[in-house]
Amino acid sequence: MQNEKPNWHGTTILSVRKGGKVIIAGDGQVSAGSTIVKHNARKIRRLSNNVLIGFAGSTADAFTLSERLEEKLERYSGQLMRSCVELAKDWRQDRYLRRLEAMMLATDATITLMLSGDGNVLQPEFGVAAIGSGGNYALAAAMALYETNEDAEQIARKAMNIAARICVYTNEQIILETLDVKEPPEKTFEKTDEI
């Protein structure tokens, strides 16, 4: 009999940017194999410099990445794009970081980014982005609701509830964080459309 670690399944994290607000929403379920371990885990964080993050995957790995991102934000004067690119470089090149099993959504008042361990830093084309086991369900629902009169929070809540009805690793214990959206500042780093 092999001694295997339990298969920890992720979550659903969704970001919606609309009408002067950006929201990151996450569900609260943590599962180990077919067992629900926790119903109200907090998978979104507000970092210094008015940055919101949401993570899917191993909790310890996600905390490691959020600490690293916070260090980068301090080093690069709160520039989210540059900080995420530098974190992704480290994540891909560092032997320890390469083993981390997590994905992250990071957003500030001007930009939303998806980060993964293979070095990707992606800016979604539209005002929505999602990661995790129920991410595709939440993304599809949010995109369908985006053209309605619903605001960012209403879209996020409805899309997350739809994902919870479809994905067995997502529940309806939704936690939201909100930032006011501002006009983008003058760019001080590479053009975002090249990433």
Positions marked active-site: 11
Q: What span, in angstroms and rounded, lies between the C-alpha atoms of 138 and 157?
A: 10
Nearest to 166 by CA among 146, 136, 191, 143: 136
DSSP result, 168-189: TT--S--EEEEEE--PPPPP-S
Q: What span, in angstroms and rounded, lies between the C-alpha atoms of 31 and 16?
A: 25
